[in-house]
Amino acid sequence: MALDEDPNAPGTYWTELAQVQQAGTFKKCQCGEHNPGSYDTCHFCQRPLPDREPAQSAGTVFTPTIDDMEAVYGGVLVASLAEGEEAVAVTGDKREALEAIDTYYREVCGQPNLLDDANARLTDAYYYLDSGHAVFTRSGTGGWEITPSSPTAPGAVAVTWFRGVPVGPVPEPYARRDEPKIW
């Protein structure tokens, strides 16, 4: 927000944004910020906004696209969850998800890898991945919510969750180096 902007003044960016977020008619920039549907450039980074219809209304089930997620690596869509401690990749293949989420944590979050440990082997992170299906639903705030589901649920897509790394060593047999590799 610019120093001279008053977020409470009627007719400002902030009041218009609040209205379109509630209605679900905002546009999302690549930088992640929401903008009123009438804007053609992002209020924050000044990038051109995608030339598409505003987001669907709250409660709408949808299949995510690059406009909904934070990044795409190797064709796999990735977004962080829970303030960056968790992430989701739109693929049921753990190998693809591992590579995409690791790249996301290195490039976007500035970590040495998704385990935030430069000495850790990437295959150690395989233990913290959980593949399944989920339904993406538009929220009333203009974002989206993700809910685990069965593969047969309407609108379900294959996803792989990264739940974050708990404190402590990687459990057996994942930490054993004398056994065959996971893949």
Quick one: pLDDT at residue 178?
Answer: 57
Structural contact between residues 84 and 159, judged by C-beta atoms closer than 8 angstroms: no
Quick one: pLDDT at residue 42?
Answer: 81
Q: Give the three-state DSSP class for 123.
A: helix
For the chain, the domains span 19-55, 56-165
Residue range 110-164, pLDDT digits in tens: 888 888 888 888 777 888 888 999 999 987 666 788 999 999 999 999 999 988 7
Average pLDDT value for the chain: 78
pTM: 0.61
